[in-house]
Amino acid sequence: MLEKKHIGQSTKSIWGGEQEHELYERSTQVPVVHSVSFGYKDIDTWHKVALEEAQGFIYSRNANPTVRAFEDKLKELEGAQAATSFSSGMAAISNTLATFLKPGERIVSIKDSYGGTNVIFNEFLPPLNIEVSLCETGDYEQIEAEIAKGCKVLYLETPTNPTIKITDIERLSMAAKKVDALVIVDNTFATPINQSPLELGADIVLHSASKYLGGHADALGGVICGNKDLVKKVHHYREINGASLAPMDAYSLLRGMKTLKLRVQRQNESAMIIAKYLQSHPAVEQVNYPGLESHPDHDIAKKQMIGGYGGMLSFSVKGGLESIKKFLPKLEYAHMAANLGCVETVVGPPFTTSHVECSAEERMAAGIPEGLVRYSTGIEDVEDLIADLDQAFKAIS
């Protein structure tokens, strides 16, 4: 039998989590198990399963066969001991933070986190008497100094949404271990294909599965992976608070993940070509893409994003907000929508997407200009995407 650590990511994307499950009537695909509860013919077996002393399922809020297959696939892709899933990416983030942070404790993070995460840091945690220290994303001395003061959690997001900054996971994980802090990394933008946070020192890696993992913008979900004891604690919190992943969404995510590596590799390649095109366009002021040598964090990305630099980029257009109001509607092969990571190209400014919950002042403080465009590269022919950008730029030339 092949050792799983030597199996490639494409093979894991297809077979992970599916070989060890007894599939209904010899089906080759994981079935959708919609049943809320699972019956037993004797009390003793039922009781053992309920106490997790025997394998089985009791109630789908706690665990479900279709959902378990999705979790096991992610566990293999991230090289983790265990995984547990949620009804959305934000449920994964909020439940994980709620599990490990108690009143009087402290969390250190960066200013460039996703807008919803930022709301948790600025609005939800302080009233619970949880101290939040948000540092400049690239200021390692400041971050390490804040960690050294003591904290329960170090929370990182890399690449960041939407500024596409890169944070050195290994360096900051080493600093966190000195104070016994838990390291949590949002790996949504990178995916397990491009980046492996657990190998770089993280304790927990999380995803909005609605994005690259599913890849088709038709299923909501979130997931965390990591040490089995840590994941068990988060699972306990989630099963009681109820933010469970629905079986139909788990099935859609499983189906989408079979092409994860193929999609991500295509998006990596196309995003690099588009970033170079944008960098040379006279209407563009700045391009944020870690694959470009001009990116300030390129060396870090080159070290830790060993699979590729991702399909996400952002860029500023001359003329700011008024220009992008003319430019974006002209694009024919891009959805203007609050989503990313799917097979279609998706575009939008942060004030309607990642940071719609934040005020203009908060976005500015986070280094997000109103005229920034977030561009999620799809799997269309890259020549068509560039031609589409070119014709749209004529609206502001």
- Annotated catalytic residues are 61, 114, 186, 211
371: Cβ contacts below 8 Å, ≥ 6 apart: 316, 317, 319, 320, 321, 323, 324, 349
Whether 85 and 265 have beta carbons less than 8 Å apart is answered as no
Write the CA distances from 199 to 174, 196, 301, 305, integer angstroms: 12, 6, 15, 12
What residues form DSSP beta bridges with 184?
Answer: 155, 204
Give the Cα separation of 83 and 377 in Å (integer): 28
DSSP symbol at 124: I
C-alpha 187/C-alpha 194 separation (Å) is: 9
Distance, CA of 354 to CA of 277 (rounded, Å)? 24
Q: Where are the beta strands (DSSP E) in 182-278?
A: 182-186, 204-208, 222-226
Angle at 269 between CA 268 and CA 274, to 5 degrees: 100
CA pair distance 113, 134, nearest whole angstrom: 10
208, amino acid identity: S
Instruction: Say whether the peptide bond before residue 159 is cis (omega within 30 degrees of 0).
Output: yes
Dihedral Cα 260, 261, 265, 271, nearest 10 deg: 30
CB distance 297 to 290 below 8 Å: yes
- Cβ neighbors of 28 (< 8 A, separation 6 or more) are none
Taken in order 33, 36, 41, 43, the sign of the CA dihedral is: positive
Can you tell me which residue has the tokens 């900051």?
172
Determine the Cα–Cα distance for residues 311 and 303; give it in Å rounded to an integer: 18
